[in-house]
Structure 1
Amino acid sequence: MTIQTTRLSDPAVRGFVTAVNAHDRDAFLALLAPDATMADDGADRDLAEWIDQEIFSSNGHMEVDNESNGGRALIARYRNDTWGEMRTRWDFTVDEQGRIARFETGQA
């Protein structure tokens, strides 16, 4: 069963999912710490390049099925125009200012 985005526990993660689904790059970038990093399937990637390819230029969309770790770990059905839909895991590190310092994703 899908969790409504507005019911996600962690404010930064809720904002992340909202920005992805709204295709709002400015809102997305505002959620990230200045030196934010990310990894996909265990490999560190260039954040700007990855979000452009996997989210914003390919109509990325997340439907969250499960959250844990206080809302900072998600299982979601993620789809985009490049890869179609897949079951993915997302783990977030949120800094003291409430911004996302790191996220890791991959197939679940």
Structure 2
Amino acid sequence: MTAQLDPTVQEFVDALNANDQDRFFAVLTDDATMSDDGVERNLAQWTESEIFGGNARMQVESVGDVGTELLADYTNSRWGSMRTSWRFTIRDGKISRFETGQA
């Protein structure tokens, strides 16, 4: 049986791929945090430069067995294409934290 993404994580991926900022931020808690390659980042600044300002796209390659971890081919206009890992923490049906980095 192939693991599937948690529905909240799936919504994150779908919103990112649709370049839909309202939908993207609606899936995050108000106090959401994130790190990129082990470095804590300002979520609003990072998403503006790395996702929405960079026409980002994510193609999920594999999913961890609880659906909150994934490997993806992540592409944006700033860095090109790279294999990345993502880990999500979900609280009350929203993402309260995500960590990403090169895989």
Q: TM-score range by the shorter chain?
A: over 0.9
Whether 2:96 is the aligned partner of 1:101: answer yes
TM-score by length of 1: 0.91
Q: With structure 2 as the length reference, what TM-score do the two structures score?
A: 0.95
Unaligned runs of 5+ in 2: none
Q: Distance in 2 between matches of 1:32 and 1:69?
A: 22
**Structure with greater helix share of residues:** 1
Q: CA RMSD in A?
A: 1.4
Say which SS state the counterpart of residue 70 (structure 1) adopts.
coil
Q: Among all aligned residue pairs of Structure 1 and Structure 2, give the percentage whose two residues are the same amino acid.
A: 51
Q: Which of 26, 32, 45 is equivalent to 1:49?
A: 45
Q: Does residue 31 of structure 2 align to residue 35 of structure 1?
A: yes
Write the distance in 2 (CA, Å) between the matches of 1:74 and 1:9.
8
Q: Which runs of 4+ in 1 moved over 2 A?
A: none
Aligned mates of 1:61, 1:91 — CA distance in 2: 17
